[in-house]
Structure 1
Amino acid sequence: MTNDQTIKLLCPTCQATVFWSEAYPHRPFCSERCKLIDLGEWASENHRIPGDDALPQNDDEY
């Protein structure tokens, strides 16, 4: 892939421009900081994949 064909995208966290190349080892994020911020959002359940819960919410249903 030549430089003209390098994929350009936006960091999901801060919207900075990122190129899909070895120059950006944390791609699709621009930095490790943005990568860790995103991980924290998933861990705190601020990001979710839509759908029904896999398990019932209360223990009485087991």
Structure 2
Amino acid sequence: MGDTPRTVSCPTCGKPVVWSAESRYRPFCSARCRQIDLGAWASEAYRVPTSPPDASDAEDFLPPGQTRD
């Protein structure tokens, strides 16, 4: 393996970022890009896809010994 550090693309702007301890904001290139990404999560611009729970899954969340009526 060589001594060349790995380079990744900033998730926000695409600028190359050296993946090393000196790259303070990695994987982002700057504090600005990091804040833009955080703001997108906070405003729910990014979402993790899910599917509606099955009715049978509801019983997994009941206290022990209790059944669904």
**TM-score, normalised relative to structure 2:** 0.66
After TM superposition, where is structure 1 displaced by more than 6 Å over at least 4 residues in a row?
none
Name the counterpart of 1:44.
43
Q: CA RMSD in A?
A: 2.0
Q: Greater relative contact order (Cα 8 A, min sep 6): structure 1 or 2?
A: 1
- Distance (Å, rounded) in 1 between the aligned partners of 2:42 and 2:52: 16
CA distance change for structure 1 residues 51 and 8 in 2, over 3 Å: closer, same or farther? same
Task: Could you tell me which runs of 5 or more consecutive residues in structure 1 were left unpaired when the two chains were aligned.
Answer: 55-62
The number of residues matched between the two structures is: 53
- Distance (Å, rounded) in 1 between the aligned partners of 2:32 and 2:52: 30
